[in-house]
Amino acid sequence: MQPINRTNLAESAAESLRAEILSGRWAVGERIPNETALTELLAVSRGTVREAVRVLISKGLLDARQGSGTYVRSTVDASGALDRVKRTSLRDQWEARAALDVEAARLAALRRTPEDLERLFKLLRARGTVADGGREAFSQRDIAFHRSIVEASGNRAIIELYDFFTSAILETIHSTLNGDLPEPDDRAHAAIVEAIATGNPDEAAASVRAFMAPVLAELDRLLTQ
Amino acid sequence: MQPINRTNLAESAAESLRAEILSGRWAVGERIPNETALTELLAVSRGTVREAVRVLISKGLLDARQGSGTYVRSTVDASGALDRVKRTSLRDQWEARAALDVEAARLAALRRTPEDLERLFKLLRARGTVADGGREAFSQRDIAFHRSIVEASGNRAIIELYDFFTSAILETIHSTLNGDLPEPDDRAHAAIVEAIATGNPDEAAASVRAFMAPVLAELDRLLTQ
DNA sequence: TTGATAAAATCATCTGATGACTTGATGAGC
DNA sequence: GCTCATCAAGTCATCAGATGATTTTATCAA
């Protein structure tokens, strides 16, 4: 194990330890050197070692047991995946969410229950226009409608990722843009519900894709100008 | 018996802080109380506060700047979403990955560079059959081929998610199934590359979807029997 | 107004000390 | 020989104090 360079010792120490663990230096279940030993190996103070170890514990790589030692819990690190997704461009995130939306609509057309349909029609009617209750409220209703389509897909992995993207995108838009993206009209939304209701997957997917296009184009314009 | 973990102030402090951040108590970009103040608010020592803050920094929620303060970087916790996705069924994960694959192929048909095409044709030729070098090696080549399609989409968010699903699915398959899922033949793969090469997004997406179907059906059979 | 300088605020890191828990060894009692 | 209480060593958990490095803000002269 190599000693660390200056600036952000704790971060560097965590990265160094993480690399050692991922390299398989210690097997799963094996005990790593104690804090004092790590202090010497990494050439940092015990407090810094603890910060690094605590990070790896939170990532699920290590497991500390008071009085016993610190053990390797896993040698594969998947926790960074969504962090890296969050660092991609707003455009990529929007496009990824749209991809999930498109395929979710396809699945929804194949699997929607009567309850799903009832909810979709209800939300479609309730969606209304921006005029009803202001922009923020309209945005909330719009999100609920789309979320409902994804929910009707019945795929929990897609639902989770869709929710993640929605909150991540909302956060970015609030902090950078001023929310002036084109809003697809009501007829476009109705077309999706129609396709899902009649059980036409290709039509459902195409409908979603069709109305995502102008938003993506506008996003491109905003981000490249 | 279930011993309650009462010796974990750092973890509790991190959870407490995380909850505050996710609740929106501080806006993105806002500065949170300094270490001394947090020491009083959380009623723990400064070292413990630092461990908690360090964890939230590693999760992308906070950002510490020496001499300035610690700021909220995001109010969306990516790590939680990932854990939930990992807990969904193998079928849902496979289907979600397939959804990404389908839309990635569509994007690849629109954006592939000459280098992408060269790589795709090369990997398609190199893919060969199971007979060449055994099942494990073939699986590696097959994964590389599909990964290459996704890479040609140029969307970093989709690429990251695809990689995540691939490793998660591999892990599950290795530990539960015995890897006997149907392998689409070479012609199916060639059709995808063809569609991407000629720039036909609908055809590319349809090709991927078409050969995902039998695998999903087999997965359903295995998981419901 | 501008620019340099000093002061204050804040995080980064180190050091030392004490407490709490786990583990293994020891030995008494049966 | 076996069981069980006790003890000691090893290890993580936490606290306290101090110093360094960096950024931000206040001050003041030109």
Residue A121 and residue A65 in one domain: no
Cβ neighbours of residue A115 under 8 Å, at least 6 residues apart?
A: none
Give the pLDDT of residue A4.
Answer: 39
Exposure string for A24-53, b = 16+ CB within 10 A, e = fewer: eebeeeeebbeeeebbebbebeebbbbbbb
Q: Which residues of chain B have pLDDT under 50?
A: 1-4
CATH of the domain at A39: 1.10.10.10
Closest nucleotide relative to residue B12's CA, C1' based: D13
Give the pLDDT of residue A6.
Answer: 46
Give the pLDDT of residue B136.
Answer: 75
Angstrom distance, B34 CA to C13 C1' = 17
User: Are A12 and A20 in contact, with CB atoms under 8 Å apart?
Assistant: no
Give the pLDDT of residue B1.
Answer: 36
Which position has the token pair 């409608």?
A145
Residues of chain B found within 8 Å of residue A51, distances taken between Cβ atoms: 50-51, 54
Give the pLDDT of residue B209.
Answer: 86
3-state secondary structure of B116: helix
A85 in any annotated domain: yes
Residue A99 reports pLDDT greater than 80: yes
Residue B62 and residue B150 in one domain: no
Give the pLDDT of residue B130.
Answer: 59
Q: Which residues partner with B32 through β-bridges?
A: B70
Residue B126 and residue B39 in one domain: no
Angstrom distance, A4 CA to C5 C1' = 35
B2 in any annotated domain: no
Angstrom distance, B39 CA to D17 C1' = 15
Cβ neighbours of residue B220 under 8 Å, at least 6 residues apart?
A: B91
Residue A64 and residue A165 in one domain: no
Q: How far apart are CA A44 and CA B86, in angstroms?
A: 35
B110 in any annotated domain: yes
- A:B CB pairs within 8 Å: 141
- Exposed/middle/buried for A15, CB within 10 Å: 0-12, 13-18, 19+? middle
B4 in any annotated domain: no
Give the pLDDT of residue A132.
Answer: 64
Residue A1 reports pLDDT greater than 60: no
Q: Which tokens hold the place of B199? A: 């720039």
Residue A149 and residue A107 in one domain: yes
Give the pLDDT of residue B222.
Answer: 76
The residue of chain A nearest to residue B7, with distances taken between CA atoms, is A66
User: Considering A19, A51, A72, which residue would you say is the last residue of a domain?
Assistant: A72
Residue A102 and residue A198 in one domain: yes
Q: State the DSSP string of B23-86.
A: TTSS-TTPEEPPHHHHHHHHTS-HHHHHHHHHHHHHTTSEEEETTTEEEE--S--HHHHHHHHH
Residue B105 and residue B202 in one domain: yes
Residue A84 reports pLDDT greater than 50: yes
Q: Provide the residue type at B153 as one letter.
A: S
Mean pLDDT of chain A: 85
pLDDT single digits (tens) A111-135 = 888 898 899 889 888 877 666 667 7
User: In sequence order, which ranges of B128-200 are alpha helices (DSSP H)?
Assistant: 134-152, 156-175, 186-198
Nearest to B160 among A59, A85, A107 (CB): A85
- Exposed/middle/buried for A142, CB within 10 Å: 0-12, 13-18, 19+? middle
For range A144-163, the mean pLDDT = 93
Domain count, chain B: 2
The answer to whether the C-beta of A224 is closer than 7 A to strand C is: no
Residue A56 and residue A167 in one domain: no
B3 in any annotated domain: no
Cβ neighbours of residue B37 under 8 Å, at least 6 residues apart?
A: none
Residue B215 and residue B126 in one domain: yes
Residue A26 and residue A132 in one domain: no
Q: How far is CA A76 from the centre of its chain?
A: 19
Q: Which domain holds residue B215?
A: 88-224
Higher pLDDT, B39 or A142: B39
pTM: 0.77
Residue A136 reports pLDDT greater than 80: no
A3 in any annotated domain: no
User: Are B53 and B62 in contact, with CB atoms under 8 Å apart?
Assistant: yes
Q: Which tokens hold the place of A169? A: 């995108």
ipTM score of complex: 0.74
Closest nucleotide relative to residue B32's CA, C1' based: C10
Half-sphere exposure of A41 (CA within 13 A, CB side): 15
Residue A118 and residue A194 in one domain: yes
For range A164-169, the mean pLDDT = 91
Give the pLDDT of residue A142.
Answer: 84
User: Considering A23, A46, A72, which residue would you say is the last residue of a domain?
Assistant: A72
The residue of chain B nearest to residue A174, with distances taken between CA atoms, is B28
Give the pLDDT of residue A8.
Answer: 83
Give the pLDDT of residue B177.
Answer: 58
A4 in any annotated domain: no
Closest nucleotide relative to residue A46's CA, C1' based: C14
Q: How far apart are CA B180 and CA A197, in angstroms?
A: 36
Angstrom distance, B31 CA to C2 C1' = 30
Give the pLDDT of residue A3.
Answer: 39
Higher pLDDT, B148 or A183: B148
Q: Which residue's C-alpha is at the least distance from the C1' of C23?
A: A68
pLDDT single digits (tens) A36-61 = 999 999 999 999 999 999 999 999 89
Q: How far apart are CA B21 and CA B56, in angstroms?
A: 10
Give the pLDDT of residue A215.
Answer: 81
Q: B84, B79, B35: which is closest to B60 by C-alpha? A: B79
Tell me how far CA of residue B81 lies from CA of A80, A82, A161, A164, A181, in angstroms.
12, 8, 7, 7, 26
Q: Which tokens hold the place of A83? A: 């962090």
Give the pLDDT of residue B68.
Answer: 94
Give the pLDDT of residue B205.
Answer: 83
Residue B177 and residue B149 in one domain: yes
B83 in any annotated domain: no
